[in-house]
Structure 1
Amino acid sequence: MTLPKEDIIRCEVLQEAAKLFRHYGLNKTTMEDIARAVGKGKSTLYYYYKSKEEIFDAVMKREKDAILCRIQAAVAQQTTASGKLEAFTRMKFREIAQISVLYQVVVREVQNCSEIERGIRRNFDNNEVDLVKNILEFGIETGEFKNMGNADLDLMAFVMISAQRGVEIASILNGKLEEIEGTMDSLVSIMLNGIRNF
């Protein structure tokens, strides 16, 4: 099945823009830079996207959707809640390590925080919290974890994602990405211990 011409152009724009954002960041990349990289005029680019922020939003959404699909697939392969939490954490950080340059751009840009970037971050965080909450509910259903109320489930999922987020940001900003897997193993162990004894 052949993609429509418009979809092919959008895909090319996002691929080239992702390279530019990785290299220069959002603020230093211009629509002209993106148009030149794609081999199109700026007017053609504006036909598909209103601004570089809209392109950045589309690049991040595409990257995050792909990451979330791979994480969900890894989680689905596990048969225990503990295994699912470990798979979630390991796969997430493998994915972050692979796109760490783009992730660093996001971390830097989010410090300046445009509304688009805040929205991207919120949406991804919410998806991760929902996924972890589903894992916790699965653990309760199978008897692996103690029963807890909905408010406690929400809080536990939020705390777990927040703790992971803190470790991932600190590891990236401090240039310690190669140490992150060992740190995450310890964090998962601590979290599972806490859940089982909650």
Structure 2
Amino acid sequence: MTVKDDNIRQQILDASRGVFQRYGFAKVTMDDIAKAVHKSRTTLYYYFKNKQEVFMAIVMDESKSLFVAARKNIREDQPFVWNLKEFITVKLTMLSGMLASYHNLATDIRDNKEFFTGMRSQAIAEELSIFKQILKWAIHNHDIALIEGKDLDFLALTLVTAFSSLEQEVIMNGNLADITSRLDWLTAILAKGLK
């Protein structure tokens, strides 16, 4: 793609964000997006096959910003519990903010769990990488016992899966009350079990 193509694609995504925020996923059409970006539907179809592809590109952009923010808040010189809690807190806080911003979309997600699963699968590789980094730092700092190879991969996958369930609870049911103290408790138990 040329720079011009990248600029047009970004214009489509920027305009689409507002459309999805106002109407949610279910009610938006490619016509709505075309009107918002002041482009023809033909132009939209040059860049995206359908509204789902437009939306998934937005999700990927949002995910990137979420993971950039989360990575900025974890550090090698911090204990395992701190890094784990910081990553999860940043992620849940940003997810809650996104849900507030995309209020109608949150309803669509709650009504269609397959939609959430598709969105979630986009972020798993990045999240696995972050959990593995946190675990490696914790091993290096002697916060947890030595874990290597497939066991480290499996533990990272287990953490991703467990915290994904927590995210799903927050997203599907809006249960974020008292999450900070609950994360303190949960991360302390995890650290103690991995000593």
| Normalised-by-shorter TM-score class | 0.7 to 0.9
The within-5 A match list for 1:94-133 is 94-101=93-100, 102=102, 104=106, 107-108=109-110, 111-113=113-115, 118=118, 120-133=119-132
Deviations 1:15-53 (A, max 9, x none): 221233334333321100111111222122222222212
The one-letter amino acid paired with 2:70 is I
CA deviation profile, 1:58-99 (whole Å, cap 9, x unmatched) = 101111011111111111375333322222112111211211
What code does the residue aligned with 1:166 have?
A: S
State the Cα distance separating 1:183 from its structure 2 match: 3.1
Instruction: Kindly provide the amino acid, as one letter, of the partner of residue 182 in structure 2.
Output: T
Number of aligned pairs?
191
The gaps in structure 2 that reach 5 residues or longer are none
Whether the 8 Å contact between 2:76 and 2:137 is mirrored in structure 1 is: no
Partner of 2:139: 140
Output the TM-score relative to the length of structure 1.
0.81
Distance 2:76 2:96 in 1: 22
Matches within 5 A, 1:184-195: 184-195=183-194
Partner AA of 1:148 in structure 2: I
**Normalising by structure 2, what TM-score?**
0.82
Q: Distance in 2 between matches of 1:100 and 1:59?
A: 14
Give ranges in structure 1 of 5+ residues lacking alignment.
none
Q: 1:168 to 1:65 in 2, by over 3 A?
A: same
Which 4+ stretches in 1 moved above 6 angstroms? none
Which has the larger displacement, 130-139 or 185-194? Answer: 185-194
Are 2:80 and 2:191, in contact at CA under 8 Å, matched by a contact in 1? no
Is 2:9 aligned against 1:10? yes
Letter in 1 for 2:57: A
Which residue pairs with 1:81 in the alignment? 80
Q: 1:106 to 1:189 in 2, by over 3 A?
A: farther
Contact kept? 2:85, 2:183, Cα under 8 Å: no
Q: How does 1:1-40 map to 2 (within 5 A)?
A: 4-40=3-39
Q: Is the 8 A contact 1:168 1:180 kept in 2?
A: no
**Counterparts in 2 of 1:136 and 1:72: CA distance versus 1, 3 Å:** same
| Structure 2 residue 181 is the aligned partner of structure 1 residue 182 | yes
Tell me the distance in 1 between the aligned counterparts of 2:49 and 2:27. Answer: 17
Identity %: 28
Distance 1:23-1:39 versus aligned 2 partners, 3 A rule: same
Task: Give the superposed CA RMSD.
Answer: 2.7
Paired with 2:108 and 2:82, the residues of 1 have a C-alpha distance of 29
